[in-house]
Amino acid sequence: MPYEGGELDGLPAVLRKGRAWYVSTLPEPEALRDLLARIASAAGVRPVLDGLPEQVEAVRRGDALFVLNHGREPVTVEVPGTHHDLLTGNAVTDRVTLGRYGVAVLRP
């Protein structure tokens, strides 16, 4: 992806050499998201949970699954299987509802 126009015209804005990627600019958010998704996919990185809403983050630490809602609105997230929510003590089966800025820590 070369620069177009200006003193850097024709020089690479994004360059791949072997497994390394060099980005010499800050792309627009959508372009950056697409580029990072492409790089992660090529490296074999897969999401912890598929189909998460944009404001939800899921991270696995050992056998614990942390699900965080960074949004102001409640959201229901699919979490296949039965889990124990370490924060509430409740059993969670197939989905968990997170409140505004809510968090769940789930263990099978």
Domains of the chain and CATH, by start? 1-46 (no CATH), 56-107 (2.60.40.1180)
pLDDT over threshold 90, residue 71: yes
Structure tokens at 58: 């899921």
The pair phi, psi for residue 39, each rounded to 5°, is -65, -45
Kindly report, residue by residue over 52-68, the tens digit of the pLDDT.
Answer: 999 999 999 999 999 99
pLDDT tier, 93 (very low <50, low <70, confident <90, very high otherwise): very high
Structure tokens at 25: 């600019």
Could you give the strand order of the β-sheet that contains 56-61, starting from the edge strand earlier in sequence?
56-61, 64-69, 103-107, 75-85, 91-98
Q: What local confidence, expressed as pLDDT, does residue 39 receive?
A: 92
Q: pTM for this one?
A: 0.71
CA-to-CA distance for 75 and 95, rounded, in angstroms? 10
* pLDDT, the chain, mean: 94
